[in-house]
Amino acid sequence: MKIPPPPVHRGVRIAGTGSYVPEGLLTNDDLARMVDTSDEWIQQRTGIRRRHICDPTTEGTLVMSREALRRALDQAGLEASSLDMIIVATVTMEMTCPSTAARIAGELGATPAAAFDITAACCGFLYALNLADTLVRSGRADRVGIVGCDWMSSIIDYDDRSCSILFGDAAGAAVLEATDDPSKGCIHQTMHADGRGWPALYIPRRDRDLADGDTVEGIRLGCLRMNGREVYKFAVNQFQNSISGALEAAELTPDEVGSYICHQSNLRIIESAVEKLGLPREKVYVNIDEYGNSSAGSVGLCLDQMRTKGLIDESKPSLLVAFGGGMTWSSCVWNW
């Protein structure tokens, strides 16, 4: 019998990040021409001005994921063939078999890297980041490509004003690799779910998927259903609890964090955490006005934009946080 080697003590670094946002735009005024809503109402209640959406003839989850990861590899100066694993987080995979990850691995030349998709809705990128960090830290993988991507416009019923105003399409990616310093990488992480709350945010495929109280009439199967008020209550609480819990666990004050990289779901949810927890506003990145909520794409897109714009103070840890359908919530304190 071969005795397993002792645990590896090493850290993790982000070698590169990338993102992909479609050029197509959907403004609040465009939506006001489709349903009974207005630019003023949407901006006031959500902070969103417009969102980017795919051209369905040429773009989708596959293209966005592949290009985001390609850009992350380019930024890192690495070949796809050097990856041990690719994880794609999405709720809008174009096919369940093969996975999006396997297809982009094939297209980018990462074979025979392990490749699989995970589904944690808007927490997807953070779940992937936490998983990848753990695998690299343990020595099971040396270099992992992660992608968070959602093609939300493919699952939105544009007659449903409660959902259609919120979501946009995007992908964010990162390449994680081993480093000798064990203090680098994820120094605290949480991943949670409470499946009892699923009817607040779900995508019914068949009649039998419908939650109690939802009926076939007026519901488009294959499209997102959301109880906005329920999700809002859940989100405000979990968002704040996740941030305060992460600060406490990592023994950090709000000012000792260099940047807050938050899921973009509603500006009011972000602002309430800033106010309640006394977070330094200038360190909390916001891009929801331009992209809306891009689900699994959101946190990775923020991470890439912040790195590219030089907005991350790498002398201090960053705090990443998200919540989403499931219901799920997740956090990560990342030491650069």
122 is known as an active-site residue: yes
Residue whose Cβ sits closest to ligand COA: 228
What is the chain's alpha carbon radius of gyration, rounded to the nearest angstrom? 19
Question: Catalytic one among 122, 123, 149, 163?
Answer: 122
Nearer to ligand COA, 107 or 214 (CB): 214
Distances (CA, A) of 259 to 202, 241, 263, 285, 335: 31, 17, 13, 8, 11
Distance in Å, CB of 163 to ligand COA, minimum: 8
H-type alpha helices, 139-227: 161-164
Report how far residue 67's alpha carbon sits from residue 115's, in angstroms, rounded to the nearest whole number.
Answer: 16
Distance in Å, CB of 268 to ligand COA, minimum: 7
Distance in Å, CB of 107 to ligand COA, minimum: 29
In degrees and rounded to multiples of 5, residue 274 shows phi and psi of: -60, -45
Distances (CA, A) of 197 to 19, 214, 235, 260, 328: 31, 15, 12, 27, 9
262 is known as an active-site residue: no
Nearer to ligand COA, 221 or 236 (CB): 236
188 is known as an active-site residue: no
Tell me if 221 sits within 8 A of 48, measured CB to CB.
Answer: no
Write out the residues near ligand COA by the rule CB under 6 A.
37, 41, 45-46, 122, 161-162, 165-166, 226, 228-229, 231-232, 235, 265-266, 293, 324
Report how far residue 321's alpha carbon sits from residue 331's, in angstroms, rounded to the nearest whole number.
Answer: 4
Distance in Å, CB of 34 to ligand COA, minimum: 10
Distance in Å, CB of 140 to ligand COA, minimum: 30
Nearer to ligand COA, 258 or 324 (CB): 324
Nearer to ligand COA, 13 or 45 (CB): 45
Residue that has been written with the tokens 């094939």 in this structure: 106
124-140 b/e (C-beta count within 10 Å ≥ 16 → b): bbbbbbbbbbebbbeee
Question: Catalytic one among 186, 293, 332, 335?
Answer: 293
Residue that has been written with the tokens 């996975």 in this structure: 99
Helix, strand, or coil (residue 193): strand
Nearer to ligand COA, 76 or 235 (CB): 235
What are the residue numbers of the active site?
122, 263, 293
